Structure 1
């Protein structure tokens, strides 16, 4: 009979959460190579042996963070459905991606750092699950185009542009806030601008 996994105590859950929170902060700021177990332990308020009790290595912590991040990051794209108005579906996706940059900036930078390093821990997923999902949704966008419901755009590059224009606000937050000044809410202004930008891009020529 297979042994049931042991239920974590309240203290164990608290310590794991502290480690993950600290690791997210350190990895997003320093990248994988620049982060050590000692730094994670200090940030979590735990000893190094205590951290290694929960995770065998720095790589194990980083991999768990990335797995959780990717599942969350891909959900808005999964939610893009054939039903409903195509332009509204795509605009809602762009809006959700911008909200995620606002609400989860450290997670966005963690992903960006991994990709900039060649994505050694993400490559199987990027070329597998992510590619399959993007191909599926690009085919849906292509169908909307062929039906004349949105303008002629390159579906894959439309998605790339949404990623670039929304995640910029998290990955380059310091630059954005420095340029706009402390009294500006970049996300409120960005939502209005991106909605207008993509709405005009997607408008079929027959409706212009």
Structure 2
């Protein structure tokens, strides 16, 4: 009788294995975002996850393997809002929705933002290939869409790639420089709400035909 499981096929993870994997990745996100890749250690990640180092190594063979797993998942999350930009809606509304999603991510995913920024500042040694393939292909696709909108007179003429870069820079600033933003604004301010008002006005004026 043939074995029901194909030879070489990975066995499904148990609940405990799934829980431990998630605990390791969440702990690694905390440690990497605070210490950077070079400053982080497996001992720190294991302690944060509530596991022994040998137990951690059962799931991931190295610090780099954990880092790559995090970055791969992060890039998929990071690109999701851009994928949702389509030609079925109003062009300006589509771009503004993307900007607001990115700003929301800066508030709800600050650790992920710092992890991504640290990797880029180091020259993207572990995700350079993904930047030149998955990310570039999607950005080029959406840049072409924005260019068609501009050529049709539906939005003002803009350089589509630099428009996307500007959205990244102006929204991610509120995650990566949160301490500075709050220090400068002082008490009694809501940086996220104020940023949404300001950036909405800025991009609406820029995009108005």
TM-score range, shorter chain: over 0.9
1:12 corresponds to which of 12, 17, 32: 17
Matched, 1:97 2:132: no
- Deviations 1:156-180 (Å, cap 9, x if unpaired)? 0000000000000011111111112
Separation in structure 2 between the aligned mates of residue 182 and residue 103 of structure 1, nearest angstrom? 20
- Deviations 1:31-72 (Å, cap 9, x if unpaired)? 111111011011111111111011000011000000110001
1:2, distance to aligned residue in structure 2 (A): 2.5
Separation in structure 2 between the aligned mates of residue 46 and residue 86 of structure 1, nearest angstrom? 49
Deviates more, 1:88-97 or 1:42-51: 42-51
1:4, distance to aligned residue in structure 2 (A): 4.2
Deviates more, 1:13-22 or 1:167-176: 13-22
1:148 corresponds to which of 145, 153, 156: 153
Matched, 1:126 2:131: yes
2:54 corresponds to which of 49, 53, 59: 49
- Matched with 2:3 is none
TM-align CA RMSD: 1.1
Matched, 1:163 2:168: yes
Could you state the TM-score of these two structures normalised by the residue count of structure 1?
A: 0.95
Map 1:17-96 to 2 at 5 A. 17-96=22-101
Show structure 2 runs of 5+ residues with no match.
Answer: 1-5
Separation in structure 2 between the aligned mates of residue 20 and residue 152 of structure 1, nearest angstrom? 43
Separation in structure 1 between the aligned mates of residue 123 and residue 110 of structure 2, nearest angstrom? 20
1:129, distance to aligned residue in structure 2 (A): 1.3
2:198 corresponds to which of 193, 199, 202: 193
Matched, 1:115 2:123: no
Separation in structure 2 between the aligned mates of residue 101 and residue 156 of structure 1, nearest angstrom? 20
- Matched with 1:139 is 144
Separation in structure 1 between the aligned mates of residue 14 and residue 133 of structure 2, nearest angstrom? 36
Q: Runs of 4+ in structure 1 displaced over 6 angstroms?
A: none
> How many aligned positions are there?
204
CA gap 1:91/1:19 in 2 versus in 1, 3 angstroms: same
